[in-house]
Chain A
Amino acid sequence: MYEFDWSSIPGALPFLWEGMKVTLVITVQAVLIGIVWGTLLAMMRLSPIKALSWFAAGYVNLFRAVPLVMVLLWFFLIVPEFVGQLFNIPRGTDMRLSSAMAGFALFESAYYSEIIRAGIQSVPKGQISAASALGMTYAQAMRLVVLPQAFRNMVPLLLTQGIILFQDTSLVYVSALADFFGAAYKVGDRDGRLVEMLLFAGAVYFVICFSASLLVKRLQKKYSTA
């Protein structure tokens, strides 16, 4: 029978914390870029200019039809070659973190743009008419009237997508980048205590995601009664 030995965990905490920082950096930047770029994509998709709308639709459909792991591999294997040549970055420079960040941000933008598009469409058309009738330009009507209402409706969905993203960051193991999961794996392997370390890592993911979901639910309740 397997004997659990948790004694290696306290010593591993500093290393795990380094990994958690990588995970958080990737998550936060992907959420922020995803929301900004996703908003632009959603507005392009809804714009009357055909070229913009097609570009946005193509982008979203492409990224939604490809597994995330594969996108990360592209960004890990192929893109650094191009970018390296473009900007004369010496071969062998470690671009794994920036590749992973770019991959996540561009991938998540596709999902965020669909959430945001639904949010924009949930605002009644009459609101744009009223804003236009007051002399606002289309851009002003979007920025001052439509988007604030759309985002208010969307906050729970955006946060939930952020929680999914937080879990998905573990996929950076394909580039051997030491995020929280990667760090747990490495240190567990080193100490010969892989099972304990991965159980511990799983518990940490669970606690963080579960409490974040509860928070989102609470927020949702507060918004819907307000």
Chain B
Amino acid sequence: MIKITNVSKHYGDFKVLTDCTTSVSKGEVIVVCGPSGSGKSTLIKCVNGLEPFQAGEIFVDGTSVGDPKTNLSKLRAKVGMVFQNFELFPHMSITQNLAIAQVKVLGRSQEEAMDKGLKLLDRVGLKAQAAKFPGQLSGGQQQRVAIARALAMDPICMLFDEPTSALDPEMVNEVLDVMTELAHEGMTMMCVTHEMGFAKRVADRVIFMDQGHIVEDDSKEEFFANPRSERAQQFLAKILHH
């Protein structure tokens, strides 16, 4: 489904990604973790072409992301993405947030889009908030709306960039629950997160990044039982003691 081969990216002399290679099969759930500044966000944004990269190749569902001939908008419409800061559109109601891209990008009718939006809103437990505006919802609720908005496009896979790290602790679980459910339904997911509990329960594989390198790419059992690199060991020790 997603195939990343020898991807490198630099800003001037500063190497953000070096020779990253990995892949995500259909239905697989991958957790990406690593210290701040290690390039996790950059890597995941390369997958749907939000960040350009200078070397290597990424294929999503057989389409090359780096190829200048690729219609990136079309590709992105099939790949859902959830951001750290939710990024709901504050000037639109929740239903409009859910419908706008369905109508303008997929060409669905307004009614069809509303219908689909409401169904998904119900699924993330927020049907009662449909008429509100993003500013009136809590962080956890906003992030669940953001997930519903991405799902409304019927994505073939979902990318998450630290979806819970901007949330108050008591709201983290409501978002993780939605993600867990999604994973159990067979969605292909690539999640940047430091929620190791989520990784243990849900992930198939864990990728550990450090200074732009993919240092570990293991099954979760392997990763948590005996991480090979020293950096990953330190990282795990620190994060699990919290």
Contacts and interface: CB of A to CB of B under 8 A. Distances in A.
A169 B40 CA distance: 56
B87 A129 contact: yes
A223 to B, nearest CB: 12
Interface residues of A, number: 18
Contact of A152 (B76, B80, B91, B106): B91
Interface string A198-212: 000000000000000
Given A132-B73, A136-B101, A126 B83 contact: yes
Contact of A133 (B81, B85, B88, B106): B81
A130 interface: yes
Contact of A149 (B45, B79, B90): B90
A122 interface: no
B74 interface: yes
B48 to A, nearest CB: 6
B50 A132 contact: yes
A148 interface: yes
A135 B85 contact: no
B104 interface: yes
Choose among B81, B87, B104 the residue with the greatest number of A CB atoms under 10 Å from its CB: B87
A135 B77 contact: yes
A133 B149 CA distance: 11
Interface in A132-186: 132-137, 140, 144-145, 148-149, 152
Given A129-B83, A135-B78, A140-B104, 5 more contacts: A127-B89, A130-B89, A133-B83, A135-B73, A152-B91
Interface of A: 124, 126-127, 129-137, 140, 144-145, 148-149, 152
Interface of B: 45, 48, 50, 73-74, 76-81, 83, 85, 87-91, 100-101, 104-106, 149-150, 153
